[in-house]
A and B are shown apart, each in its own frame.
Chain A
Amino acid sequence: MDIRELHRTVDTADLDLWYGSFQALRRVTVSIRQGLITAMIGPSGCGKTTLLRCFNRMNERYGNARIAGHVRILGRDVYDPDVSLIELRKRVGMVFQRPNPLPLSVYDNVAFGLRVHTPRARRSRRTEAEAVETALAEVGLLDAVQGRLRRKGTELQLEQRQKLCIARLLPLKPEILLMDEPCSALDARGTEAVEELLRRLRGRYTIIIVTHNMAQARRISDECVFMLSGEMVEHSETAAMFVNPKDRRTEEYIEGRYG
Chain B
Amino acid sequence: MNDPVVPAPALSLFRATSFTRKKIRVQKAAGILFGAMACALLVPLLALVVYLVVNAWPALTWEFLTDVPQGGMRRGGIWPALIGTLYLVVFSRLFSTPVGVLAGVYLNEYAKDNWLTRVVNLAVVNLAGVPSIVHALFGVGAFVIFAGLGKSVLAASLTLAIMTLPVMIVATREALAAVPMAFRVACWNLGASRWQTIRTIVLPNSIGGILTGVILEVCRAAGETAPIMFTGAIFFKAVERWDFFPYSPREQCMALSYHLHAISTQVPGVPEPMLYATAVVLLGFVLAFNSLAIVVRFRMRQRKKW
Contact = CB atoms under 8 A, between A and B. Distances in A.
B191 A100 contact: no
Interface residues of A, number: 30
Contact of A155 (B112, B192, B200, B305): B305
A27 to B, nearest CB: 27
Interface in B33-58: none
Given A63-B113, A96-B185, A103 B205 contact: yes
Contacts of A58: 185, 189
A89 B183 CA distance: 15
Interface of A: 56, 58, 61, 63, 85-90, 93-94, 96, 98, 100-104, 112-113, 116-117, 152, 154-155, 165, 168-169, 172
Interface residues of B, number: 21
A58 B112 CA distance: 16
A113 B197 CA distance: 11
Contact of A86 (B113, B185, B193, B201): B193
Interface in B166-191: 180, 182-183, 185-191
Contact of A89 (B180, B189, B196, B306): B189
Nearest to A168: B190
Interface string B281-306: 00000000000000000000000111
Given A152-B305, A154-B306, A155-B305, A102 B189 contact: no
Contact of B190 (A61, A98, A103, A113): A113
B161 to A, nearest CB: 32
Given A63-B112, A152-B305, A100 B182 contact: yes
B189 to A, nearest CB: 5
Contact of A116 (B113, B185, B191, B306): B191
Given A103-B304, A103-B306, A172 B183 contact: no
Given A103-B305, A112-B187, A154-B305, 10 more contacts: A58-B185, A87-B191, A90-B191, A96-B182, A100-B183, A100-B186, A102-B201, A104-B200, A104-B201, A154-B306
Interface of B: 112-113, 180, 182-183, 185-193, 196, 200-201, 205, 304-306
A165 B187 CA distance: 11
30 contacts: A56-B189, A58-B185, A58-B189, A61-B188, A85-B188, A90-B190, A90-B191, A93-B189, A96-B182, A96-B185, A98-B182, A100-B182, A100-B183, A100-B185, A101-B186, A102-B183, A102-B201, A103-B304, A103-B306, A104-B200, A112-B200, A116-B187, A116-B192, A116-B196, A116-B200, A117-B191, A152-B305, A154-B306, A165-B186, A172-B191
A85 B188 CA distance: 9
A49 to B, nearest CB: 13
Nearest to B182: A100
B190 A112 contact: yes
A169 B192 CA distance: 12
A222 B290 CA distance: 61
A127 to B, nearest CB: 17
Given A102-B183, A102-B201, A116-B196, A89 B188 contact: yes
Contacts of B196: 116
A85 B190 CA distance: 10
A85 B196 CA distance: 14
A238 to B, nearest CB: 27
